[in-house]
Amino acid sequence: MTTAAPARERILGAAMHRFYAEGIRAVSADRLIADAEVSKVTFYRHFRSKDDLVVAYLERLAAAERTEVERRVASEAPGDVLRWYARFLGATTCAPGFRGCPFINAAAEHADPAHPARRVVDAHRRWLHGQAAALVTALGAREPDALAERLLMLRDGAMVAGYVGQAPDQVADALLAAGEAVVRAAIPSAA
């Protein structure tokens, strides 16, 4: 890591790497301070607590996903967006260093629903659900919330399958086939 980047970015960059690779609770503030090459004073000037840094980490991940999904939604047909997302997940979940969904991982480490990290996870999950519901509504779903929840469950399962070692094409193909089957069962005209 270069010391030329602003201190806040170096700290957040260290957290992006370590939290995902090692787990949030396993990484100490001291480890991040050393990685970012900052003092404790500088660390706590930018993040009042490790929890504040965890929130910033999760918000950055959520913003990146929102940006890409919203770009696709604005330029592609709903069915194409859903197919893209399945292929994207297949490629992502099987990439070297993949350790599962960072939001599910954070939720597992922070079981208290009132924890600030958990609130970010829950907000991101609601956003994902809303995006899926809007896409399937555009395809003609009569019960978009139920269908969106099924698609999110498939997404979660694909992430586990990728983490435990299936090949990218297998994950993407299986997710795509399962998603299309679920959509066709709920929206026969989508066939």
Name which of 43-47, 50-54, 113-117, 164-168 the model is least confident about.
Answer: 164-168
Inter-residue long-range contacts of 147-154, CB under 8 Å, 24+ positions, other chains counted: 147/182, 147/183, 147/186, 147/187, 150/182, 150/186, 151/82, 151/179, 151/182, 151/183, 152/125, 152/128, 154/178, 154/179, 154/182
What pLDDT was estimated at residue 168?
67
Q: Which fold has domain 1-48?
A: Arc Repressor Mutant, subunit A (1.10.10)
Over 90: is that where the pLDDT of 161 sits?
no
pLDDT band at 119 (very low <50, low <70, confident <90, very high): very high
- Contact yes or no for 104/155 (Cβ under 8 A): no
DSSP letters, 16-39, are HHHHHHH-TTTS-HHHHHHHHT--
Highest mean pLDDT among 2-16, 66-80, 87-101, 165-179: 66-80
pLDDT band at 162 (very low <50, low <70, confident <90, very high): confident
Average pLDDT, stretch 74-101? Answer: 90
The CATH number of domain 51-190 is 3.40.50.12780: no
- Contact yes or no for 10/36 (Cβ under 8 A): yes
Average pLDDT, stretch 39-45? Answer: 97
Name which of 50-64, 80-94, 163-177 the model is least confident about.
Answer: 163-177
- Contact yes or no for 95/163 (Cβ under 8 A): no
pLDDT band at 165 (very low <50, low <70, confident <90, very high): confident
Q: Is 9 exposed, middle or buried (0-12, 13-18, 19+ CB in 10 A)?
A: middle
Angle formed at CA 65 by CA 55 and CA 112, multiple of 5 degrees: 35
* pTM to 2 decimal places: 0.91
Average confidence score pLDDT of the chain: 93
Average pLDDT, stretch 6-18? Answer: 97
What are the sequence ranges of the domains in the chain? Answer: 1-48, 51-190
Name which of 32-41, 46-55, 172-181 the model is least confident about.
Answer: 172-181
Over 90: is that where the pLDDT of 1 sits?
no
**Distance from C-alpha of 148 to C-alpha of 133, rounded to nearest angstrom:** 5
Evaluate whether 1-48 and 51-190 have a shared fold. Answer: no
